[in-house]
Chains A and B, each alone.
Chain A
């Protein structure tokens, strides 16, 4: 039935050509957005997106679709707010109903420490031009009537930050919108094509070696999220990334019951109700490193325990599916965007648990970086150098998930 929500045609299925100006490794949201903006903003259309599996089948297909820009530090606020502004015009831009719904995102505070940090973030957001409000517990309850804030719960809600412009979108629609747009502009989207190595001579990347053969490239742009470190190692680079499973789940369809996005860093819960009616929930990351897209069941059990403290009304709701994605976490919980020691090889990774919301902004600045050969101003603070200079952008506090 929902097939009718999509266009009649999405993309071609071309065979790869022997050479491209730009090869993007990774056909997820960020890779597809990058390809689209390369073509749309910079007129660069001799581009291939190489995807090991199926388009947008990694974290793009696995995330909980929360969109917000209320990050603490100026550098983060700038890039995420740029992204949010793009979101606000994206359905029109891509001529695709992305089901972008600005229903508001609550971040709950359960301790005095959370309260201080929440207020600090709200004030920073407002001064950075990002909409943000601090709500006390009663106001949070008024905004989300099914939220249990009471003092008898183990970790009562003491307040919350609210970003009204935050919300959710439908992840597949977003990826497919970018893919369709890129394909229409001439970008080759090549699925089932795994990059197995890089041809590097004279310190410069010349080609990628793939399961479908050698493909020469002027620029190779990595956009492979949790598998970036594996790819980079094939180019001789060791990146400061750790890949962890991050689990999520959906319930069966329900009549409307939850009107906003609720996130609680302290007790590892974030939840929203998708358009069709299912509750979509995320957990804390699994503590071990792994590339297996599955997690430990006890993490789900603990998440449910925490969720029911906040939403006792959900106790009889049933989970129909759980899964995991692989999130690439950097030491400061901020992304890595820019050049690498290998000429022509660029990296965009480390978005950790929060990459979905950044999809438009990430693609935008990465395309610009690829096109111009120097970091986009919004990407500049996120270069690899910061791990040498120490100019870290520590967003552990603002990340949705406790690391």
Chain B
């Protein structure tokens, strides 16, 4: 029932909402729970196992009963839902529901309906049993995002202690963030009638809030719940703001001011709708202007219960009786129910026997539990305080301090004083030197006396003939005035079996008793045996009571039992909030080559290779994959074709000891490679197994270019760095990734030369032997082949890649993708790392004994090659397979057996194309007949073992056809920047305080050396120890050697007053202008992409990002701007 006045609600406006289809109203300022209570709704759901009716029990996030479906939200506490117009809510039976909305009746317990009807997952496979995506899908999804922020002092909780702490730290100049989970700060003061300095407490709150708002370095976040306290003062919080923002704070000091949770007492029938925590009843009366009942019994072990009784009385609730065991030992020993199972009265036991008192509200205060969840998450240690009868913080594990009620300091004035002390200390420890003295306001609260140590009301007499769970079917409620003690409990009263410890999981004192009787001594075991504390409230209302009951059962102190482990999140958090914007196209970074847009325009079908998108084939109109691949293959074998090979990893290895280093890392000898020559190699792990392969070219005496497979580029670079840094720091060698700097077009086929000659006009192709490299003013050309045909791999800086590709195609090269590439190399018997190999294959197994130097003293993997199992005969090795039917395509992954029906596996098919396949098999020789087993096909295909080289075993085709035409030579290539396609969208997006522009085509070089690299006053950006990036300009002559990386990175300029707000949503570093100053730069992650971030003006940043990831980052930035 709504009071006529009072509370922090706006009675001038009416909000309409529905609950289980009933049309109801409330006001701004209401929660769904307060509005339901105001409308007289007492039963808000059924319990999960027993199906007992349940009502609103708390006024906060710890609510165990009032979990309802709201709109599409499957299950949320009604106590945390701010009422809004048009809200639709349904009751539940302890389980959330996805997909279609509930019927108007909701899931409230129906009298007479069998309980425990909820089905078990996994037992029904009919389509109806599983929700379908899209069913009942909402029109618009809320937009969730993330943010990262550093501060000196993070204060969690905006009650009296938290406000005081934030003020004390903020007024001396500390960078402070204050989090509070309510729409407005104040905490318990919003529910209180105490006077501070003679005025209402909310006035003091307002004055503090105003002072905080005036401090530029203080940020107050309302509707924000800290959910996780991780190592190194890393605190994660959820802010509800339309969608949700997942905040990540890195704090110098943390002040926890999280308050305390009131607890109940486990007495029979303590779960009926109408039984409510005393502090909640007071909150509904004072803050929401709602009478949670008309006639109340207050059952309290604490002084705060009396305060609640005074406040309820002042609001107009008739206080029938205050039962305080501290006064006379009297207890509430049972409850009476009305027809629906809601509270009709309380049974009070005392020295004089038992009597019933009619009431519709039973306000219970069993004591207070400091909210130590975050403290415990931070690895802080608790102790049990005998006076407070509660677990309180004991030893901190991090730079943290608790203040106020969350460390057992109760009372408003004491909490404020503790908050001031905590805030001042935190600021000082965080390095702020100012001191200021803060005055604690005068408060009219009486002094507090200790609570009673009461966890459960001793069971008097179980009634086994009355099954628990039948309370909902009670006949007419007995008239309490003439009921006997027996009748007072009503049907279903079961003593301990109806004395609930965990309302959400229907765990009773009897259940805890069974657990102890089973031999369980650990509270963790008891939790698992009974499920107490495993619900969405994670023990906030149940945990301490369970510990107290278990301690009593075991005859020990609660402190000896201890608590279960507190884990994140503090309150439940939706999967979608944790995912933030990392959904759909932004769920994982995408890498593309300089030619990507052209491939898309040509209708390429792509495959994912790591994060890269690679064209798999280029179908013409109506072509199947097989037809397209055959056409592409024919072009490469008989004419000329081209593939975009830009994705292969490329690393420049530079230094006096580059050759020596590579000799140690690869099994063959590379120090003897002549300048300008190429050599194929494989990289082995320490276990001798093949990890990667590629071609290594000596560019100069002290300079090599190493290529890697597409998927392993980063892993190989890591590996090179790790071995150099940890094993051979004395070697003079450095590594520079140039994967994104070069765009690569391989021109392949017997007629490749005229095309290559036209594309690269300054190289003498007549004098260009196989496995050599030529420098050109356009870039470099490598004469290497992955197909057996004449091939030139033309490398140009990425800016020119698109033009090169188009020029090649204009001159007759047929574009082909990875599928044809795989066919061509398989026909030639070339293994692919990761396809023929699986981490168990040595170079020798691949038939590459020739690559393993017998002369070198050592290299990574050498020792393992002589281990007994690695050196034994009979290992699987690479062979070819030919099916009897030349059109047959074997199944990649088919297992090979010696005879039909055989089960002993000799090996498996690693690659298969029409008529040819590669396999890793043991104990076979060419000509052997085997059977390829594929369970899916349900047959065994006969095959013949062959040499793996199917095509041109004599390498006669390597030099191609004699050039007989001259094609139109290319005079130059037009440059295209990585983000050329984004200009229009960038321009259109710049109206919200931040704007994005590409800074196109900036020359860059990476250099090594101890001293800062400088040219024309332009200082190199330090990327790491002895590692510099020079942006713009060129290196000074005579300076340290450098590597041209102009194409490696794209440059984005982000500017405007809200540029920092954009970066904050995806960059984890401290961007505060005093820390990341103008002119500063750093390597960091932005949107999970590695970048160099350079602050060039107070509100302008340059973002240097790998070219292949630039498009992804641009999409991310545009999306971020949309969310501003």
Which A residues have a C-beta under 8 Å from some C-beta of B? 1-4, 6-13, 53-55, 57, 61, 74, 101, 103, 110-113, 115-124, 126-129, 132-134, 144-146, 148, 152-155, 167-168, 172, 191, 251-260, 267, 272-277, 292, 294, 296-297, 300-302, 304-309, 311-323, 331, 386, 388-392, 394, 396-397
Contacts and interface: CB of A to CB of B under 8 A. Distances in A.
Contacts of A12: 519
A304 B588 CA distance: 12
A172 B834 CA distance: 39
Contacts of A258: 121, 130
B120 to A, nearest CB: 5
A6 B587 contact: no
B814 interface: no
A1 B271 CA distance: 14
B1012 interface: no
Contact of B121 (A11, A53, A277): A277
Given A122-B936, A259-B130, A320 B538 contact: yes
B834 A124 contact: no
Interface residues of B, number: 111
A324 B1075 CA distance: 34
Given A61-B528, A297-B230, A301-B246, 4 more contacts: A252-B75, A308-B587, A317-B575, A390-B868
Contacts of B908: 120, 123-124
B520 interface: yes
Contact of A321 (B72, B124, B538): B538
Contact of B870 (A54, A273, A390): A390
Contact of A124 (B575, B585, B868, B895): B895
The 3 closest A-B CB pairs, nearest first, are A119-B893, A120-B893, A390-B867
Contacts of B188: none
A172 B525 CA distance: 9
A257 B131 contact: yes
Interface of B: 48-50, 67, 72-76, 94-99, 118-125, 127, 129-133, 141, 146, 228, 230-231, 234, 236, 246, 248, 505-508, 511-512, 514-515, 517-522, 524-525, 528-531, 534-536, 538, 565, 567-569, 572-576, 578-580, 582-585, 587-588, 590, 607-609, 687-688, 834-835, 838-840, 864, 867-870, 891-895, 897, 903-905, 908, 910, 933-936
6 contacts: A134-B936, A255-B96, A256-B119, A259-B122, A259-B130, A389-B867
B535 A320 contact: yes
A322 B569 contact: yes
A263 B85 CA distance: 41
Most chain B CB within a 10 A radius of its CB, from A7, A267, A317, A389 = A317
Given A13-B519, A54-B522, A317-B96, A116 B867 contact: no
A304 B894 contact: no
B868 to A, nearest CB: 5
A117 to B, nearest CB: 7
A319 B236 contact: no
A257 B121 contact: yes
Nearest to B122: A103
A275 B75 contact: no
Contact of A320 (B98, B118, B536, B565): B536
Given A6-B518, A57-B524, A123-B935, A313 B98 contact: yes
A389 to B, nearest CB: 5
B518 A316 contact: no
Nearest to A111: B608
A306 B246 CA distance: 17
Nearest to B839: A394
Contacts of A316: 72-74, 98, 574-576
B668 to A, nearest CB: 21
Contacts of A152: 584
Given A10-B518, A124-B905, A256 B936 contact: no
Contacts of B934: 119, 123
B1030 to A, nearest CB: 32
B236 A252 contact: no
Contact of B536 (A112, A167, A318): A318
A112 B997 CA distance: 37
B663 to A, nearest CB: 23
B373 to A, nearest CB: 11
Given A3-B529, A127-B903, A254-B74, A117 B893 contact: yes
A320 B522 contact: no
Contact of B608 (A110, A318, A320): A110
A304 B578 contact: yes
A389 B871 CA distance: 9
B137 to A, nearest CB: 9
Nearest to A136: B936
B366 to A, nearest CB: 21
A96 B538 CA distance: 27
Contacts of B582: 301-302, 305
A259 B575 contact: no
Contacts of B99: 257, 313
A253 B95 contact: yes
A112 B936 CA distance: 17
Nearest to A273: B121
Contacts of A277: 95, 118, 121
Nearest to A333: B839
B278 to A, nearest CB: 26
Nearest to A253: B95
Most chain B CB within a 10 A radius of its CB, from A57, A110, A119, A152 = A119
A318 B77 CA distance: 12
A319 B652 CA distance: 46
Contacts of A251: 572, 575
Contacts of B835: 113, 116
Given A191-B521, A297-B228, A323 B567 contact: yes
A320 B580 contact: no
B609 A111 contact: yes
A1 B74 contact: no
B609 A126 contact: no
